[in-house]
């Protein structure tokens, strides 16, 4: 850059640089690590105690899977930023009826707007699910409702997908969406509104379903060096988490959205109930993950990955394999399972 010898220009440039620097600093003070507050248990702490536990551990962001009014109320003034789901069973009604979306926003968003960061329209909905055709219209109706309350610049509307929607994820640059008819209009919505795509990423499930080609070290961030070099772009991968996130970035680029960012809306490792599900492995995963996300991925170096850990508590009433009931960072009696993780 030429050194400006015209003082007003120099002052203007200096101000611009200082403003840019300050806004970057403010950006970095935003929480990068959140924790999902799943509630499928009959022995979980009171809602107020849960929020206090987030605060005392320095956890500054929460994902809440339904608009539980008690939780929303105790979150007020806590400083915790919220990712709030429209549960899958409500997606169709919000899609078919603008007034239902208006009511949903009026009841669950407007009174709590200062804590809200995202509204998540559906979790892990697949193209073959009955709600699939409702996801985009429900997102559109929620956005219209937010606009009517002047909240569209404060609160982002997205949906949360799982990685089964991505095919050819090895090497990462080959990643692409399988069913583009489903996902492309949703991605176009995200891109035109500057919202991220939310993705649930589990190296655990990738590892247990493919142990002959994936090492435990690669899944737990404990490899000493490069495990995979992507032959298409020379990027080196030392952990599977980055590889999975970058396969989503590759898929987004192929879908015409190279600048749409990814927020990891769930990730975790179970402490019991299946292959490699141990307290030691889970503690290793969460600790290494928290330290890693600031670095970004090989495709997006330095671009911090906003990440929500799954989950706050072991949930004894979750259906499915035993591992599902052992994803907690804390026991229902509020004891940390993995020593002191540094969430901030």
Ligand X SMILES: *[C@@H]1O[C@H](CO)[C@@H](O)[C@H](O)[C@H]1NC(C)=O
Site residues for ligand X per CB under 6 A: 127, 164, 167, 178-179, 217, 223-224, 258-259
Is 152 a known active-site residue?
no
Q: Three-state DSSP class for 329? A: coil
Per DSSP, which regions of the chain are E strands? 33-37, 61-64, 81-86, 116-123, 156-162, 166-167, 176-177, 197-200, 228-229, 236-237, 262-267, 307-309
Of residues 14 and 215, the one with the C-beta less far from ligand X: 215
User: How far apart are CB 28 and ligand X at their closest, in Å?
Assistant: 20
Residue with tokens 């987030």: 54
Of residues 150 and 259, the one with the C-beta less far from ligand X: 259
Catalytic residue among 266, 306, 315, 324: 266
Task: List the Cα angle 28/29/32 in 5-degree steps.
Answer: 75
CB distance 263 to 198 below 8 Å? yes
Residue with tokens 């176009």: 188
Of residues 127 and 274, the one with the C-beta less far from ligand X: 127
Catalytic residue among 124, 306, 315, 324: 124
Secondary structure (H, E, C), 5-22? CCHHHHHHHHHHHHHHHH
Number of H helices, E strands in the chain: 11, 12
Of residues 152 and 217, the one with the C-beta less far from ligand X: 217
Of residues 178 and 188, the one with the C-beta less far from ligand X: 178
User: How far apart are CB 263 and ligand X at their closest, in Å?
Assistant: 18
Number of Cβ within a 10 Å radius of residue 284? 19
Q: What is the rounded CA–CA span in Å between residue 285 and residue 268?
A: 8
Q: What is the rounded CA–CA span in Å between residue 267 and residue 35?
A: 9
Q: Does the bond joining 171 to the residue before it have cis omega, within 30 degrees of 0?
A: yes
User: How far apart are CB 221 and ligand X at their closest, in Å?
Assistant: 11
DSSP symbols for 130-184:
TTHHHHHHHHHHHHHHHHHTT-TTTSEEEEEEEGGGEE--SSGGG-EES-HHHHH
Q: What is the rounded CA–CA span in Å between residue 153 and residue 130?
A: 31
User: How far apart are CB 242 and ligand X at their closest, in Å?
Assistant: 17
User: How far apart are CB 269 and ligand X at their closest, in Å?
Assistant: 18
Tell me which residue of 97, 39, 88, 25 sits closest to 68, measured CA to CA: 39
Is 266 a known active-site residue?
yes
Of residues 3 and 181, the one with the C-beta less far from ligand X: 181
User: How far apart are CB 42 and ligand X at their closest, in Å?
Assistant: 35
Q: Which helix (H) or strand (E) holds 77?
A: none
- Show which residues are catalytic: 124, 266
């Amino acid at each position: 850059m030429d050194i400006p010898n015209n003082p007003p220009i120099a002052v203007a440039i200096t101000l611009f640089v200082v403003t840019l620097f300050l806004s970057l600093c403010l950006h970095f003070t935003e929480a990068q690590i959140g924790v999902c507050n799943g509630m499928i248990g009959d022995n979980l702490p009171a809602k107020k105690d849960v929020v206090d536990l987030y605060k005392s551990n320095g956890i500054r962001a929460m994902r809440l899977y339904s608009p539980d009014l008690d939780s929303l109320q105790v979150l007020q003034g806590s400083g915790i930023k919220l990712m709030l789901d429209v549960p899958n069973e409500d997606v169709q009604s919000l899609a078919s009826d603008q007034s239902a979306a208006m009511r949903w926003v009026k009841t669950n968003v407007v009174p709590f707007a200062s804590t809200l960061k995202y509204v998540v329209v559906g979790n892990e909905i697949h193209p073959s699910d009955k709600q699939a055709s409702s996801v985009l219209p429900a997102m559109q109706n929620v956005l219209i409702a937010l606009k009517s309350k002047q909240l569209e610049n404060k609160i982002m509307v997205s949906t949360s997908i799982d990685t089964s929607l991505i095919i050819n994820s090895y090497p990462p640059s080959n990643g692409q969406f399988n069913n583009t008819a489903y996902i492309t209009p949703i991605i176009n919505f995200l891109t035109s509104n500057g919202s991220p795509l939310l993705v649930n990423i589990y190296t655990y499930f990738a590892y247990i379903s493919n142990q002959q080609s994936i090492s435990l070290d690669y899944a737990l961030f404990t490899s000493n060096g490069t495990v995979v070099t992507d032959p298409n772009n020379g990027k080196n991968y030392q952990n599977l988490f980055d590889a999975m996130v970058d396969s989503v970035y590759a898929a987004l680029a192929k879908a015409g959205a190279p600048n749409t960012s990814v927020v990891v809306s769930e990730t975790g490792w179970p402490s019991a109930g299946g292959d490699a599900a141990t307290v030691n492995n889970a503690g290793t995963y969460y600790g290494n993950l928290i330290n890693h996300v600031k670095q970004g991925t090989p495709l997006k170096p330095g671009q911090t990955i906003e990440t929500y850990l799954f989950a706050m508590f072991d949930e004894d009433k979750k259906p499915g394999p035993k591992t599902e009931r052992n994803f907690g960072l804390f026991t229902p009696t509020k004891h940390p399972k993995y020593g002191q993780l540094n969430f901030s």
